Amino acid sequence: MYEQLDIEANELLNVISSNVVKIRKAKGYSQLKLATEMGYSSASYLGCIEIRKNGQHFNITQLHKISKILDVPIAQFFEPLQEE
């Protein structure tokens, strides 16, 4: 059971990261522009989170900021990925 919960949690974190990237690009934001508006001095931290390098992931505070900056409901980051 514990292992299955970890798998599901990682899948959710992957969905969130993919949605952030998709929405950021659709809104015409570069990693640097979004990172700067979030209060970071470079895009590298945001980039590592987007690709989930070393298991990094967005926290709720970061998602709140991103939703406000990109003007989208925070729930949109949690929606299952759509096949394109």
Mean pLDDT score of the chain: 94
* Domains by residue range for the chain, with CATH: 2-75 (1.10.260.40)
Contact 45, 58 (CB under 8 A): no
For residue 83, pLDDT beyond 80: no
Q: Which amino acid is at 74?
A: I
Burial degree of 19 (CB within 10 A; 0-12, 13-18, 19+): buried
> Helix crossing, 60-70 with 2-26: angle to 10°?
20
Contact 65, 41 (CB under 8 A): no
pLDDT-derived band at 81 (thresholds 50, 70, 90) equals confident
For the whole model, what pTM was predicted?
0.92
pLDDT of residue 41: 93
Q: In the chain, where does DSSP find H-type helix?
A: 2-26, 31-38, 44-50, 60-70
